[in-house]
Chain A
Amino acid sequence: MAKSLHLKLDYDQLTNCMRCGFCLPACPTYRETGVEPESPRGRIALMKAVADGIMDPDLAFQKQMNHCLGCRACEPVCPADVKYGQLIEQARDAIEDHANHSVSVNGIRKLVFQGIFPHRKRLKWLGRSLFFYQKSGLRKVVRGSGVMRLFPQHLSEMERILPEATARGVVERLGTFYPAKGETIARVAFFRGCIMDVLFSETNVNTVKLLSEAGFEVVIPNEQACCGALHAHSGEMELAKQLARTNLKVFKEAGVEYIVSNAGGCGALLVEYDHLLREDPEYHELAKWFASRVIDVSLLVLEHGRIPEFAQANTDSSEPLTITYQDSCHLRNVMKSSSAPRQLMRQVANVRFIEMKESDRCCGSAGIYNVTQPQMSGQLLEHKMEHANRTGAKYLLSSNPGCLLQMKLGIHRSGVSEQMEAKHVVDFLYERIVETPQPSDGTT
């Protein structure tokens, strides 16, 4: 493994880290523990020590690499512009090459990374099964039987807060083309995502309709694949690349000006496809074309669209509606979009936007981190909910499915389900749109 770390780690990036320590206060795991190895500077030092041969990539090293959330809050504060996110992925990739997982973990990894996520039909099947489980009474039986007690607490809680799944994703509901309302500003493609399309298909539908209201005609290529983010973050780099190549072909054929994402986690990998495929001579140019077109829905609407008029749904109440926002780390730190969603939210009538303390700090969801590292994840979520609750917000908004699930879990755990609801920014906005009347010149 030392050898493959030596091969895979970018030694230039390791050298670029000048150990100034500016990343330390930005790092959630360092903040929680105060221990140097739990910081970006520490983890880079460990990687460099392995590459330099003064340390073995032992179990502690592997654990430490996996303990990083990958939130990349360290990158914007780094004076030397060290690409930490890439380093941690390279380290995990090398570790996975030699991983000695138990048979069951291997089975689950294979099932998730190879068996489900790359296959659209199987995802739909998963959505259908989950829907069946949730609706058929089976869930009642399971919960009643106490069998969930056999699982760790965080998993049984997760089962409770999971939104209703569906096999009917955005394409099944809207088709592969949706026209613009009013004059067309641009033709865009929508990246629907995997979790988003199974657990938040309503949000996907609302995203397309919001884009249409803002003046974009939307193509939703049905052959698009999973973005590969979960794979890349878990050290399954080759699979991530395969998925990326599929997406490049599919979206190139769509002939669009922008590729729109509504999930920070997916968008962040899409926007870095050029880096992912930097050593692929056949696809690198196409990857650059693709990456330069990826944009988050909020930013696209705000900067290039006709911003629809948003009114508060319940206009009887004179008391303003209080909302707050949890940044998606990858939307903020990688796609560099933190002000666009806030600016849009503030345009809704009679809304009081209260910034929660440390809204820019990771909530602990981080892909599948909340499943693999429940303790650290739980600690981070606890702090997060203290800050969220202090705002007194009715809606806790976010821009990524992982964050949304984590927020739902947090609301459930801190017992405020009566007062607070977690929602995707797009849903919040779309539900408040004052529909544009059809233009008089007859264009549709």
Chain B
Amino acid sequence: MLDQALSQKLRQIVGENYYRDDREALVAHSYDGTPMLQSLPDGVIYPDNTQQVAEIIKHLAEHRVPVVTRGSGTNLSGGTVPVHGGVVMVMHRMNRILDIDLQNLTATVQPGILTGDFITHIESLGLFYPPDPSSMRISTIGGNIAECSGGLRGLKYGTTKDYVIGLEAVLASGEIIRTGGKLMKDVAGYDLTKLLVGSEGTLAVITEATLKLVPPPKSKKTMIAMYKDLYGAARTVSRIIEAKMIPATLEFMDNPTIRVVDDYAKLGLKRDMDAILLIEQDGDPEAVERDIERIREICESEKADQIEVAKNQEHAEKLLTARRSAFTALARLRPTTILEDATVPRSQIAEMVLRINEIAQKYNVTIATFGHAGDGNLHPTATTDARDADEIHRVELAFEEIFEAAIELGGTITGEHGVGMVKAPYLEWKIGKTGIEIMRGIKQAFDPHNLLNPGKMFANESRKRVVLNRA
């Protein structure tokens, strides 16, 4: 519980209804989308504007109380779990679109707006904002920026960082800074905009963002290819890129995923397939036709067992169902679903999938893999039960080895979920000791008292996940 005077002050800033420290509010803000993590904050606050955020942060800093900023809490790396207690700051009330500039093709928004709502609005104006994390119907733009979210369109269009061109943020001291702006070119000093994107709430609280918009593609075509040989699928991915084509979407499912999806969605998939690729191209109709035709030829020459090109929108939806069902099908197998995001150079996909399967076998755990083949971003997904301590331990060991394998193959420990708490013990594997030192230095410069989302990104000793034992 916070000091009486401080909580009184916080209530004054936001109003009686928007600071809560009752048990209900604390429990409901003790978790996010990450399995098995939970920790109670001391209070929950809902600011309405930047000035309030600045004042809140000033008072919290004076009392050295940590603050965890969050949107809908859909993230999967424990990034918004208040492990050090303190105040959870929910940004939902700051959800306005402040400006849409059709001459510069930019949108300026508050962080609490739901990404899906934002995209719907932008599309109604005939424009396009490409980052499309799977959680976009509920996740917020602020959360997407903090975690630098990816999505299915990442390969061709890039991820959140490629669309944030200006920010307003509140520093740990309570001061307000502005970075970038409605500018396509800007090299005035270090790029603080890019630094804040993906900083997971550890450097500043983002209170406003200016986003780049682009014209939407004119048409889209969908196809699916199934392979008995994993390497055939992997080579297809490499050869498409080699042929200088960048599909809008290039998704992958391995054999364990295919089986589970077929059990669940009854799509009549061939269960002896080692891999399925789902490919979409968008752009000018003629270019799309040409690309899809060439991709089909590549699939054929790599001995795809079956290839289907969607004849119309309805057929395309049917082909997409397999990939879309993957998460749901896996989530229903066992009570606890741990979805990771190990990423490798796309030329190493086949190797990585084989390594994952070997590791799963070694530790006697179930791990199915699907993901974004085009950008090498794989989602090895363990289906397990949080109550089975022994199995959970084996799952943890397996993932440790999977991250190790990813690094070995020239990849990374996280492609789109962020480091948070879950990957913190492995960050050094990726960036090295010097890398950690320089990052700690940056953190120190922004937040000398370690009050902004402490316990994230940089690990102490522990490699274990915090498991809440049933009382």
Q: Which residues of A contact B (CB under 8 A)?
A: 12, 15-16, 18-22, 24-25, 34-37, 42, 45-46, 49, 51-56, 58, 60-61, 64, 79-81
Establish whether residues A19 and B138, one from each chain, have CB atoms under 8 Å apart when the complex forms.
Answer: no
Mask: chain B, 13-46; 1 = CB below 8 Å from A; 0 = not: 0000000001111011111111100001000000
Q: CA–CA, A53 to B468, complex, Å?
A: 12
Q: CA–CA, A78 to B30, complex, Å?
A: 21
CB distance from B21 to the nearest CB of A (A): 12
Given A24-B138, A34-B93, A53-B471, A18 and B35 contact (CB-CB distance below 8 Å): yes
Among the 9-residue stretches B205-213, B311-319, B326-334, the one with 4 or more Cβ atoms under 8 Å from chain A is B326-334
With a CB–CB cut-off of 8 A, which chain B residues contact A34?
A: 92-93
Of all chain B residues, the one with the shortest Cβ separation from A33 is B92
With a CB–CB cut-off of 8 A, which chain B residues contact A35?
A: 28
Select which of A15, A20, A37, A52 is within 8 A of B28 by beta carbon. A37
Given A15-B335, A20-B135, A21-B138, A37 and B24 contact (CB-CB distance below 8 Å): yes
Establish whether residues A24 and B72, one from each chain, have CB atoms under 8 Å apart when the complex forms.
Answer: yes
With a CB–CB cut-off of 8 A, which chain A residues contact B138?
A: 21-22, 24-25
Interface status of B386 (Cβ within 8 A of chain A) = yes
Q: CA–CA, A25 to B137, complex, Å?
A: 7
Of all chain A residues, the one with the shortest Cβ separation from B137 is A25
With a CB–CB cut-off of 8 A, which chain B residues contact A37?
A: 24-25, 27-28
Query: Sorted from nearest, which 4 A-B pairs have the closest CB atoms?
Result: A53-B471, A79-B328, A36-B28, A37-B28
Establish whether residues B27 and A54, one from each chain, have CB atoms under 8 Å apart when the complex forms.
Answer: yes
Give the contacts of B103-117 with A (CB-CB under 8 A): 114, 116
Establish whether residues A36 and B73, one from each chain, have CB atoms under 8 Å apart when the complex forms.
Answer: yes
Establish whether residues B332 and A79, one from each chain, have CB atoms under 8 Å apart when the complex forms.
Answer: yes
Establish whether residues B23 and A60, one from each chain, have CB atoms under 8 Å apart when the complex forms.
Answer: yes
Q: CA–CA, A61 to B26, complex, Å?
A: 12
Interface status of B74 (Cβ within 8 A of chain A) = yes
Q: CA–CA, A22 to B72, complex, Å?
A: 10
Of all chain A residues, the one with the shortest Cβ separation from B332 is A81
With a CB–CB cut-off of 8 A, which chain B residues contact A81?
A: 331-332
Q: CA–CA, A52 to B36, complex, Å?
A: 13
Establish whether residues A55 and B23, one from each chain, have CB atoms under 8 Å apart when the complex forms.
Answer: yes
Q: CA–CA, A12 to B72, complex, Å?
A: 25
With a CB–CB cut-off of 8 A, which chain A residues contact B28?
A: 35-37, 42, 45-46
Establish whether residues A12 and B135, one from each chain, have CB atoms under 8 Å apart when the complex forms.
Answer: no
Interface status of B336 (Cβ within 8 A of chain A) = yes
CB distance from A358 to the nearest CB of B (A): 13
CB distance from B18 to the nearest CB of A (A): 10
Q: What are 17 of the A-B contact pairs (CB < 8 Å)? A: A12-B335, A15-B335, A18-B33, A19-B33, A19-B73, A20-B33, A21-B74, A35-B28, A45-B30, A46-B24, A52-B470, A55-B24, A61-B24, A64-B24, A79-B328, A80-B331, A81-B331
With a CB–CB cut-off of 8 A, which chain A residues contact B33?
A: 18-21
Q: CA–CA, A215 to B75, complex, Å?
A: 54
Select which of B27, B32, B332 is within 8 A of A19 by beta carbon. B32
With a CB–CB cut-off of 8 A, which chain B residues contact A19?
A: 31-35, 73
With a CB–CB cut-off of 8 A, which chain A residues contact B387?
A: 15
Establish whether residues B93 and A52, one from each chain, have CB atoms under 8 Å apart when the complex forms.
Answer: no
Establish whether residues A20 and B92, one from each chain, have CB atoms under 8 Å apart when the complex forms.
Answer: no
Given A21-B138, A79-B327, A54 and B337 contact (CB-CB distance below 8 Å): no
With a CB–CB cut-off of 8 A, which chain A residues contact B305?
A: none
With a CB–CB cut-off of 8 A, which chain B residues contact A25?
A: 114, 116, 137-138
CB distance from B258 to the nearest CB of A (A): 18
Of all chain A residues, the one with the shortest Cβ separation from B95 is A34
Interface status of B385 (Cβ within 8 A of chain A) = yes
With a CB–CB cut-off of 8 A, which chain B residues contact A61?
A: 23-24
Given A36-B29, A52-B470, A80-B337, A21 and B332 contact (CB-CB distance below 8 Å): no
